Every structure is written in structure tokens, then in C-alpha cells.
Amino acid sequence: AVENQLKICGFKSTGDVIGLYLARQGLRSIPSLSQFNRLKYLWLNNNKIQDLTFLIKNYCLTELYLNNNELTDISGALKHLCSLQILFLHNNELKKLGKTVKELKGMISLHTLNLFQNPLAYDPDYRLYVIYILPSVQLLDRKLVTQRERESAFHLYNPERSLLVQSIAFGKRVNTPLGTPVGSRRCIQPARRLIMPSGYEFGDNTNRVPFENPKDAVLVRAMTRSLTEFSSVDWNKVATCQERRLQNKAEEPLEKLTVQFR
């Protein structure tokens, strides 16, 4: 089948081949394709292929169509294909979700993936698991991956980090005059007010100490610095757009904790 395809396309050298169409040939096995070192596009769909050992050296592949075959395991057969962008594996006999997805983990350019109509696709959290392990995938089983799905997958498979991300506050600098209260808005404590003694201003070019207690001078300097204000919200209590549309009752105001630091 390979030789016939080369004759049809008129290739004189295997090094010139960037695409091979071997679909619908009833193939059960294929000889090594290592001589096609520039091969980028390979159609092997609608055959009876059961193993992929013939792809051991085709590092340049960007599109691989293996759908509608008899594959039961792809472990060790595809992980070296780091340039893959499109991979069709639907309608095979792949059963082990973890091993299958692990094989594809190093494909950082993979954006289109089909795994439906395999036994592994019946796993309850199949889609979220694939989205979490393969973050580069944008189109999974002919359906766009949404931001909501990515967030759900992150929360499901990395709950500790998800809680950490949700607890991170957002901050800003706040310029305040001397004497402005500093601290949490829930518990505000009045700041110590100091009055500069007459004739002891900083700009009079004298060597006199403006305060009897040097700590008072340090406090004045500290109080004139800008503040850093941090606000934190429990994002788990924030309703999504869809939830807001479905709920008829008025949304309760969110509680925001704001703390100021110098």
C-alpha cells in the first residue's frame, strides 16, 4: 500500500514525502515508516490496525488520523511525537484512560483530539480529566473546551491549589495623610497623632532634634508612607452568569475583607 501511494503521487525519494494517505486499505499491520523522516500528515483511518510500532521515528508528524481501527493500547507508541497538533483516535478499543492520556501528555502543541467511541470515554469524569492533563487541547471530541470546564477540571483534580488560588487577595497602593487609621476595616484602630514642635520643621536646616523621643520621629516618617491595601473575597460564593439568570431572588451582597499595611 505504501509503494502504491508513492507511485500514485510520483515521489522519487522518501525524503520528499510529507503526507501519506493509507486510509480504507484494510490494513492490519504496516511496515516501519522511519524512512519518511519529513512526514507531517498521515491518514490511517478505517483500517484494522492493532499496534503502532511503525511510527517509532516519525518525529515531524503534526496530523495523525487513526480513527476507526482496532487499537487497544497506545502506550509507548506516540509519546515521542511532540509536534502533533491533531490526533484522531475515536472509534477504537482504548480502555485505560490514565495510560492513554499519559501517553499524550508531552504533546504541548496538541490542540485537537478525538477519543470518543472508546470504552475509556464512558468514565464519569473522562472529559474533565483529559482537559486537566492536556491543557493545550482546545477541541475535544468535536466540542470546544470552555473556560468553565477548565476551572471545573482544575478544582476537581487539584483541589488544594484551587483553594489557594481562590484565597489570593488583590492589592493596590493607597496614599494617606498622617494620622489616617490603619488596619482592617472590620476593626479600625486610631493611629497615634503627633504634632511637630514649633520651630523644629525639617526644612529649617538646623541640627536640632525635632522630637524629644527619637521614636516619635520614626513614627512620623512611617506614617507618611503610602499604604498597601489588600482585599479578599470568597469566590465560591460568587454566582456565575448562568446562575444569575436562573435565580429569581435578589443576589446577596458579598462580604469583602480589606486590610491595609504599611
If asked whether residues 211 and 97 sit together in one domain, one would say no
**Residue in the structure block whose three cell numbers are 493509507:** 22
What are 148's three cell numbers? 468553565
Q: Model confidence over 116-143: pLDDT tens digits?
A: 999 999 999 999 999 999 999 999 999 9
Q: Model confidence over 10-62: pLDDT tens digits?
A: 444 566 788 898 999 899 988 888 888 889 999 999 999 999 999 988 999 99
Distance (Å, whole) CA 78 – CA 56 = 8
If asked whether residues 196 and 139 sit together in one domain, one would say no
Contact call for residues 156 and 131 (beta carbons, < 8 A): no
Q: What does the pLDDT read at residue 180? A: 46
Q: Where are the alpha helices (DSSP H) in the chain?
A: 2-9, 97-104, 126-133, 147-157, 159-167, 214-223, 241-246
If asked whether residues 119 and 142 sit together in one domain, one would say yes
Report which of 88, 46, 51 is spatially closest to residue 69, judged by C-alpha positions.
46
Q: What is the DSSP letter of 172?
A: E
Q: What does the pLDDT read at residue 167? A: 60
If asked whether residues 157 and 215 sit together in one domain, one would say no
Higher pLDDT, residue 153 or 198: 153
Residue type for position 54: F
Residues 6+ apart with CB under 8 A from 85: 62, 63, 109, 110, 111, 112
Computed over every residue of the chain, the mean pLDDT equals 78
Least confident of 68-72, 159-163, 172-176: 172-176
pLDDT at residue 81 tops 90: yes
Q: What does the pLDDT read at residue 84? A: 96
pLDDT at residue 156 tops 70: yes
Q: Which of 96, 129, 161 is the last residue of a domain?
A: 161
If asked whether residues 205 and 110 sit together in one domain, one would say no
Q: Which of 104, 129, 161 is the last residue of a domain?
A: 161
Task: Taking residues 161-176, report their average pLDDT.
Answer: 58
Helix 126-133 × helix 147-157 angle, to 10°? 90
Task: Taking residues 203-215, report their average pLDDT.
Answer: 57
If asked whether residues 227 and 110 sit together in one domain, one would say no
If asked whether residues 30 and 149 sit together in one domain, one would say yes
Q: Which of 161, 184, 203 is the last residue of a domain?
A: 161
Domain with 187 in it: 169-261
If asked whether residues 153 and 174 sit together in one domain, one would say no
Task: Taking residues 222-238, report their average pLDDT.
Answer: 68
Which phi and psi angles does 133 have, rounded to 5°? -75, -30
**Residue in the structure block whose three cell numbers are 446562575:** 243
Neighbours of 42 (CB within 10 A): 24
For a pLDDT cut of 70, what percent of the chain falls above it?
64
Report which of 75, 17, 5 is spatially closest to residue 44, judged by C-alpha positions.
5
Vertex 158: Cα angle to 156 and 163 (nearest 5): 95
If asked whether residues 144 and 173 sit together in one domain, one would say no
Distance from the Cα of residue 121 to its chain's centroid: 22
Which phi and psi angles does 123 have, rounded to 5°? -60, 135
The total number of structural domains that make up the chain: 2
pLDDT at residue 224 tops 70: no
If asked whether residues 49 and 141 sit together in one domain, one would say yes
If asked whether residues 178 and 97 sit together in one domain, one would say no
If asked whether residues 120 and 104 sit together in one domain, one would say yes
CATH number at residue 84: 3.80.10.10
